[in-house]
A and B are shown apart, each in its own frame.
Chain A
Amino acid sequence: MTDILQRATTKVLDNGEGLSFDELVEVLQLPDEQIPALLELAHAVRMKHCGPEVEVEGIISLKTGGCPEDCHFCSQSGQFSSPVRSVWLDIPQLVKAAEETAATGATEFCIVAAVRGPDERLMSQVRDGIKAIQEAVDINVACSLGMLTQEQVDDLASMGVHRYNHNLEAARSYFTNVVTTHTWEERWETCEMVREAGMELCCGGLVGMGESLEQRAELAAQLAELAPHEVPLNFLNPRPGTPFGDLPIMDSQDALRTIAAFRLAMPRTILRYAGGRELTLGDLGTRDGLLGGINAVIVGNYLTTLGRAADADIELLADLKMPIKELAKTL
Chain B
Amino acid sequence: MSEFCGHCGERLDARDHTVCAVHLVMEPPRFCEDCHRRMKVQVTPTGWVAECVEHGTLTG
Please tell me if the beta carbons of B41 and A100 are within 8 angstroms of each other in the complex: no
Please tell me if the beta carbons of A64 and B48 are within 8 angstroms of each other in the complex: no
Please tell me if the beta carbons of A305 and B26 are within 8 angstroms of each other in the complex: yes
Q: Please provide the chain B residues from 1 to 51 with a CB less than 8 Å away from any CB of chain A in the complex.
A: 8-9, 25-28, 30-31, 38-48
With a cutoff of 8 Å between Cβ atoms, the chain A residues found around residue B41 in the complex are 64, 84-85, 87, 304
- With contacts A83-B9, A83-B38, A85-B38 taken as known, whether A301 is within 8 angstroms of B44 at the C-beta atoms is yes
The reply to whether the CB of A252 lies closer than 8 angstroms to some CB of chain B is no
Give how many A residues have a beta carbon under 8 Å from the other chain's beta carbons: 30
Interchain residue pairs with CB less than 8 A apart (10)? A59-B45, A83-B38, A84-B41, A85-B30, A85-B40, A100-B46, A104-B46, A278-B26, A300-B44, A307-B26
**Could you mark each residue 299-323 of chain A with 1 if its beta carbon is under 8 Å from any beta carbon of chain B, else 0?**
1111111110010000000000000
Q: Nearest-CB distance from B5 to chain A (Å)?
A: 11
- With contacts A240-B8, A278-B26 taken as known, whether A83 is within 8 angstroms of B31 at the C-beta atoms is yes
Q: Nearest-CB distance from A271 to chain B (Å)?
A: 20
The reply to whether the CB of A97 lies closer than 8 angstroms to some CB of chain B is yes
* Contacting residue for B48 out of A58, A83, A86, A306, CB 8 A: A306
Please tell me if the beta carbons of B45 and A305 are within 8 angstroms of each other in the complex: no
Q: What interface size band does chain B fall in?
A: 10 to 19
Please tell me if the beta carbons of A301 and B9 are within 8 angstroms of each other in the complex: no
Please tell me if the beta carbons of A100 and B42 are within 8 angstroms of each other in the complex: no
Please tell me if the beta carbons of B45 and A300 are within 8 angstroms of each other in the complex: yes
The reply to whether the CB of A148 lies closer than 8 angstroms to some CB of chain B is no
* Contacting residue for A61 out of B26, B27, B42, CB 8 A: B42
- With contacts A84-B30, A306-B26, A306-B48 taken as known, whether A301 is within 8 angstroms of B43 at the C-beta atoms is yes
With a cutoff of 8 Å between Cβ atoms, the chain A residues found around residue B45 in the complex are 58-60, 97, 100-101, 104, 299-301, 310
Q: Please provide the chain A residues from 28 to 69 with a CB less than 8 Å away from any CB of chain B in the complex.
A: 58-61, 64
With a cutoff of 8 Å between Cβ atoms, the chain B residues found around residue A159 in the complex are none
The reply to whether the CB of A279 lies closer than 8 angstroms to some CB of chain B is yes
Q: Which residue of B lies closest to A278 (CB)?
A: B26
The reply to whether the CB of A180 lies closer than 8 angstroms to some CB of chain B is no
- With contacts A83-B9, A83-B38, A85-B38 taken as known, whether A302 is within 8 angstroms of B43 at the C-beta atoms is yes
